[in-house]
A and B are shown apart, each in its own frame.
Chain A
Amino acid sequence: MGAGSLIVLIICGIAFAGGGILLSKVLAQTSTNAQKGQAYECGVPTQGRSWIQLNVGYYLFAILFLIFDVELVFLYPWAVVVREAGWMAFLEIVIFLFILFLGFLYAHKKGALKWM
C-alpha cells in the first residue's frame, strides 16, 4: 500500500475510461448529416447568445441565501456536543437563530423576497 497503489489506480482509471472512448471511435461506423445536429425529443433550438445578462432578482436571492446558509455553520459544532452542552447552549443557539430570523423578517418587510 502507499502512493504506488494510488498511481496504479489512476492509470487504470484513465486507461479504462479513455480506452473505451478510443475503442468506440475505431470500431463504430460514423455518418454525419444535417438532421443529426438538430435538437430532438426534449429541447428546442436556442435563441440569441448564451452569455446574457441575468435578472438582478437572482442576485438578491443569492445574497440572502448566502447569508442565511453560511451562518448555519455555527450549528454544526453545537450539534456535535448537544447533549453535553446542556440547556444553556441551547438557549444561546435559540437567541442566535432568533436574531437571524429578525434579519429574515427585515428582508421580508423591505420586499427583498418579492420576485421583480
Chain B
Amino acid sequence: MNEIVQFMLPELGLTVLLFVLLFVRIVGKLELAGQVCQLMNIALPILALCMWFMPAPEGAQFGGMMISSKLIVTEKLLLLVGTWIISLFSSPWLRGHRHPAEFYMLMLSTLMGIFFLLSSGDFLLFFLALELSAIPLAALCNFDLEKHVSGESAMKMIFSSALSSGILLFGISLLYGATGTLSFVQIPALLDGSPLQIMAFVMIFTGFAFKLSIVPFHFWTADVYEGAPVPVTAFLSVISKGSMAFVFVSALYTVFRPLSEIWYIAITLLAVISMTVGNLFAIRQQNLKRFLAFSSIAQVGYLLIGISGSSIDGMSSVVYFVLVYVFSNLAAFAVITLVSSATSRETIDGLKGFHASNPLLAWVLALALFSLAGIPPTAGFFGKFFLLTAGAAKWNSPVLIVAALNMVVSLYYYLRVVKAMFMDSSDDTMIRLTPNVSVQFALLLCTAGILLLGFYSPAYEWIRSLSFGI
C-alpha cells in the first residue's frame, strides 16, 4: 500500500488539492475560495519538493498500466513547475474574475491528466489520460465568460481535440485488432509492418499531430490561442504542448520503434513543412498571442528534427528543449498577461514605447524573445543546438539547411516585437505597470531559468544520463 502511495505521489497530491478546492467551493463562501487559491501558489511548490525528495520508484504498477522512471518523474516535475509559474503570474487576471476556484480545479485536473498520460503504460490509461487532459482545457478556454471570442476558441478546441482523439482511437482499435494487446511493453514485439498496422500507426500519428499542431493539422491552434485568456494560452502552448511532445517521443521510441523507418520519413517531411509554414505565417501576425501560436508551430518543427535522430540524444534534446521552452515562453506570457490585464492591449503595436515606460519588463520580454529565437548566450540557443545535433546524426543535410534558414526568418519577426518595444514611440503612452509580488517572483524564476540554463551546461548532461534505456 505504502509503495503504491509513493508510486502515485504526484497524482495523489493533485487529487488531494482538487478535493480541497471542491470542498471549499461546496461548503464555503466565494471569498474563502479566492483565498484558498492564493494558497495554491504555496501548495504547488510543496508538491514539487515532495516529488523531488521522494521520487517514485522505477518500475510498473497495476499490471503494467502505470510505469515510472527517473525521466518521467523529471518531466512531471518540469510541467508542475511550469504550472506553478502560470499560477503565479495569473493572479492579476484572476483577481477580477468571478470563478477563481474553478480555474484552479480545471487547471489541476488537466495537469493530473498530463501526469497520468506521461506514466501510462497501456493504451487504455493513455486514452483516459489524454481525454482528462483535453476536456477541462476546453472549458478553461471558455473562461473569459464575457468575451465571445473566448467561447469561440473553446468551441474550436473541443471539436478539434475530439476529432483528433477520435482518429487516434480508430488507430488504437486497428492496432488492437492487429496485435491483440494494448500494453506498451508487448506491442513492439508484435509489430511486423503489415498494412493494417501501418494504417493503425498512421491514424495514431495523425491524432498526435493534431494535438501537437504539426502543420497540416495546425488550423485550430492560432484561433484557440488568440481567443483563450492569456494564462490559459500559456498553459496550452507550454504545458499541454510540452507534455504531448514528451509522450509523442516516448511513444515513437518505445512502442513504434520497429516502424522507425516509416516514421522517420514522415517526421522529417513534417518538420520541414511545420518550420516553414509556422515562420512564414508568424511574420504577418499583429496579435501577440496569434504570433506566439505560429512561433510555437515553428518550434514544434525544430522539435521534430530532434525526434528524427531516434537516439538517446534525440530523447534528451527534446526534454532539454521543452525545459528551455517552458521558461522562455512563460516569461513572454507573463509580461503579456500583465499588459493585457492592465490595458487590455494584445497587439504588437500596443507594445510601442514599452521600454520607455516599463524598462525592466521590456528587457524580460526581450530576453524571452531572444531565447525563443535562439540567440546565444540565452538557453534557447542551446535547446535548438542540441536538437539539430541529434537530428544531424542521420546526416540529413537538406533538412538542417532548411532549419538554419528558418531560424534567420524567425529572427526577423522576433526582433520586430523588440523593435516595437525599444525603438518605436507611440501617441498613447503605456502606463507604468506595477506587478505584485507573485508576478515578480514568476518573472524572476523565468529570467533565472533562461540565463542559468544558458550558462550551466551540466543540466543537459544530467537529462542525458536519465534518458538511458530508452
Contact = CB atoms under 8 A, between A and B. Distances in A.
Question: For chain B, which range describes its interface: under 10, 10 to 19, 20 to 34, or 35 or more residues?
Answer: under 10
Nearest to B19: A102
Contacts of B25: 106, 109
A105 interface: yes
Contacts of A106: 22, 25-26
B101 to A, nearest CB: 10
Contacts of B22: 102, 106
Question: For chain A, which range describes its interface: under 10, 10 to 19, 20 to 34, or 35 or more residues?
Answer: under 10
A106 B102 CA distance: 11
A106 B105 CA distance: 12
B164 to A, nearest CB: 22
Contacts of A105: 26
Interface in B1-37: 19, 22, 25-26
Contacts of B26: 102, 105-106, 109
Nearest to B99: A110
Contacts of A102: 19, 22, 26
B387 to A, nearest CB: 42
A105 B26 CA distance: 7
A102 B19 CA distance: 9
B114 to A, nearest CB: 20
A72 B22 CA distance: 22
A109 B29 CA distance: 11
Interface in A22-64: none
A36 to B, nearest CB: 49
A64 B25 CA distance: 19
Interface in A82-109: 102, 105-106, 109
A92 to B, nearest CB: 13
A21 to B, nearest CB: 43
A102 B26 CA distance: 8
A105 B28 CA distance: 13
Contacts of B19: 102
A100 B19 CA distance: 12
A57 B19 CA distance: 28
A102 B25 CA distance: 11
Nearest to A102: B22
A29 B294 CA distance: 75
A52 B129 CA distance: 40
A102 B22 CA distance: 8
Interface in B186-231: none
Contacts of A109: 25-26
A5 to B, nearest CB: 33
Nearest to B15: A99
B51 to A, nearest CB: 24
A113 to B, nearest CB: 14
B30 to A, nearest CB: 11
A15 B26 CA distance: 62
A105 B22 CA distance: 10
A49 B19 CA distance: 48
A102 B20 CA distance: 12
A95 to B, nearest CB: 11
Interface in A57-82: none
B233 to A, nearest CB: 26
A91 B25 CA distance: 25
A85 to B, nearest CB: 16
Nearest to A108: B26
B355 to A, nearest CB: 45
B256 to A, nearest CB: 31
9 contacts: A102-B19, A102-B22, A102-B26, A105-B26, A106-B22, A106-B25, A106-B26, A109-B25, A109-B26
Given A102-B19, A102-B26, A106-B22, 4 more contacts: A102-B22, A106-B25, A106-B26, A109-B26
